[in-house]
Amino acid sequence: MKKTAHVVIVILLPILGFSQGEFLPKGQSGLGVSVGYALNRETTGIGLGAGFSINGIFDIGLDYAKASARQDDAHSVSTYSPFIAFHWLKQNENIKINLSLTANLLLNSYTDRYRVDYNSYDVSGNGLLFGVETFYKIQSDEKFSIMPLLGISYSSLTLSYKDQNGMPLLGDDGLERRDDLSRLNFSIALPLIFKLDMAKENNTLLIITPAVVVNKDANSFNISLSMIGSKLE
């Protein structure tokens, strides 16, 4: 079960990791929305997200994602995840890379059924996810750019177990059983950034992001489609 939980986390990472401020210049605020799909040998996932970037430096937002085992829909995760991001370094003439720090709160992040003898227990979990990303924007022309990205994150979950009457599962010591799970996760992505001319006074970006995420339990492939709108100064 622990492995299944972290396979799910791997699936969700890129879906929850979208931060619109990564794609905006310093001093420009904007609103972003994103949809994503992810899969590996055991799990598939979908996600939705929306957020707002303040001056391209601070981001706040909310993500929703759901993933399930490919062979058994009873093993699933449904997550609401408020997030914040701080874009510490912004690429310019003097700074050659970007550097961002992110934090996600994972609410009700793991839901499953766990059997002990003849009893069945609901599994739920909450947790945190902290990440660091570095990336470099390569401008092809005025309308298109790419942004190779490397990331590392730390995820932590606490799982609890309750029966249909709300009574907790007890461990061998007679205390309520809780499982604490943590992993390091590594990601590589290649956002493809298209600038759209929907209105001259607006800066509208369409972003397609393929990504691979790895931890000790599994590797996953992910694809997301995002749109960011901001006012030009």
- Nearest CA to 37 out of 214, 161, 220 is that of 220
> Which neighbouring-strand residues pair with 44?
39, 68
d(CA 26, CA 212): 28
Q: 4 in a domain, yes or no?
A: no
Q: DSSP string covering 7-68, please?
A: HHHHHHHHHHT--GGGGS-TT--EEEEEEEEEE-SSEEEEEEEEEEEETTTEEEEEEEEEEE
Q: Which CA distances in Å does 36 have to 32, 112, 131, 143, 198?
A: 13, 22, 19, 23, 23
Q: Residue 71 sits in which domain range?
A: 20-231
d(CA 196, CA 204): 5
d(CA 1, CA 112): 9
- Nearest CA to 176 out of 166, 186, 184 is that of 166
Q: 138 in a domain, yes or no?
A: yes
Q: 218 in a domain, yes or no?
A: yes
Q: 76 in a domain, yes or no?
A: yes
Give pTM, 2 decimals. 0.86
Stretch 19-28: mean pLDDT:
88
- How many Cβ atoms are within 10 Å of 199's Cβ, its own excluded? 11
Q: 13 in a domain, yes or no?
A: no
Task: State which amino acid sits at residue 40.
Answer: N
d(CA 18, CA 16): 6
Q: How many domains is the chain partitioned into structurally? A: 1
Residue 40 has pLDDT above 60, yes or no: yes
Share of the chain residues as helix, strand and coil, in percent rounded to the nearest 5? 10, 65, 30
Q: According to the model, what pLDDT value does residue 68 have? A: 81
- Looking at per-residue confidence, does 99 or 94 come out higher? 99
- Nearest CA to 129 out of 32, 2, 47, 17 is that of 17
Stretch 113-123: mean pLDDT:
65
What CATH number has the domain bearing residue 145?
A: 2.40.128.130
Q: 206 in a domain, yes or no?
A: yes
pLDDT digits over 24-34, tens only? 888 889 999 99
Cβ proximity of 44 and 11 under 8 Å: yes
Q: 117 in a domain, yes or no?
A: yes
pLDDT digits over 187-219, tens only? 999 999 999 876 666 788 999 999 999 888 788
| Residue 200 CB burial class (10 angstroms; 0-12, 13-18, ≥19) | exposed
Q: 171 in a domain, yes or no?
A: yes
Q: Across all residues in the chain, what is the average pLDDT? A: 83
Q: According to the model, what pLDDT value does residue 198 have? A: 63
Start-to-end CA distance of the chain, whole Å, equals 51
d(CA 205, CA 77): 30
